Amino acid sequence: MIAALLNAANGEYRLAGKHAENFPWRADMTSPCINAYIEHWRGDSVREGEYLETDLHMHLEAMLDSLTMLGKTYMERSRYDDASKCFEAAFGVIECFFGAEAAAPALHSRECGDIHELLAECFIARGEREEALSELERMADYDLGAKLSKSGERLTAPFFRDDGYNWYPKRERSRAARELLEKLSSPGLSGLSGDSRFEELKNRAEKLG
């Protein structure tokens, strides 16, 4: 993986592609999945379940990343309806696994961007300012509220209960506010500058940061 990424970053796309061809061709060819098969034949259903939860977690993260990245490719081509569907599908995946929780983990914040903020950009591009502001308010409410109040709690749904992952790491409110302010400073949201609702969101983050 590192060789493929390094070659791509250096413009060696053909060589990067050759490295990529060495990756498993099936999504279930992961270490946790294979170990689950081993434990199945061993007859240890507890360990098998733990491995399967870890495997499911890996697939969840990968699906959310792929949906978010796909949405961004549509944004780059000004296909905002298609981009929105990708981001909404990502939220649907989160709801599927964490809808029973008091608050979902912070899965909307991906390496390539916050899904709330990206969806708001799509609304802005389509001239739907009120929808964009509502989406950003949901992001702010989560970042400054649910994500912090749920710190350290375990999941109630059975999908990832025993995978050993801390889904609700402790977060400092000031850090969450600074990160929120950074997201609200995205160039894609510049069209909302001066709007009272938007300025109020920034004021909330500035007061806590």
CATH code of the domain occupying 29-208: 1.25.40
Give the model's pLDDT for residue 153: 67
pLDDT tens track for 72-95 = 999 999 999 999 999 999 999 999
pLDDT at 34: 86
Q: How many residues does the chain have?
A: 209
Question: Does pLDDT of 149 surpass 70?
Answer: no
Split at pLDDT 50, 70, 90, the class of 198 is very high
pLDDT at residue number 8:
62
| pLDDT at residue 101 greater than cutoff 80 | yes
| 104: confidence class by pLDDT, cuts 50, 70, 90 | confident
Beta-carbon count within 10 A of 26 CB: 7
List phi, psi (to 5°) of 27. -70, -20
Domain positions in the chain: 29-208
Torsions phi, psi for 182 (to 5 deg): -65, -40
pTM for the whole thing?
0.85
Read off the pLDDT band of 156 (50, 70, 90).
confident
- Top-confidence range, 143-147, 151-155, 183-187: 183-187
Q: Residue 146's pLDDT band (boundaries 50, 70, 90)? A: low
Give residue 125's Cα distance to chain centre. 22
- Tell me, what's the pLDDT at 7? 63
Higher-pLDDT residue of 149, 89: 89
Residue 17 confidence (pLDDT):
62
- Residue showing tokens 């060589």: 15
**15-29, 62-76, 148-162 — most confident range:** 62-76
157 near 60, Cβ under 8 Å? no
Instruction: With cut-offs at 50, 70 and 90, classify the pLDDT of residue 197.
Output: very high
Q: What is the structure's pLDDT at 3?
A: 63
User: pLDDT per residue over 22-59, tens digit each?
Assistant: 666 677 778 888 889 889 999 999 999 999 999 999 99
Find out whether 31 and 4 touch, Cβ atoms under 8 Å.
no
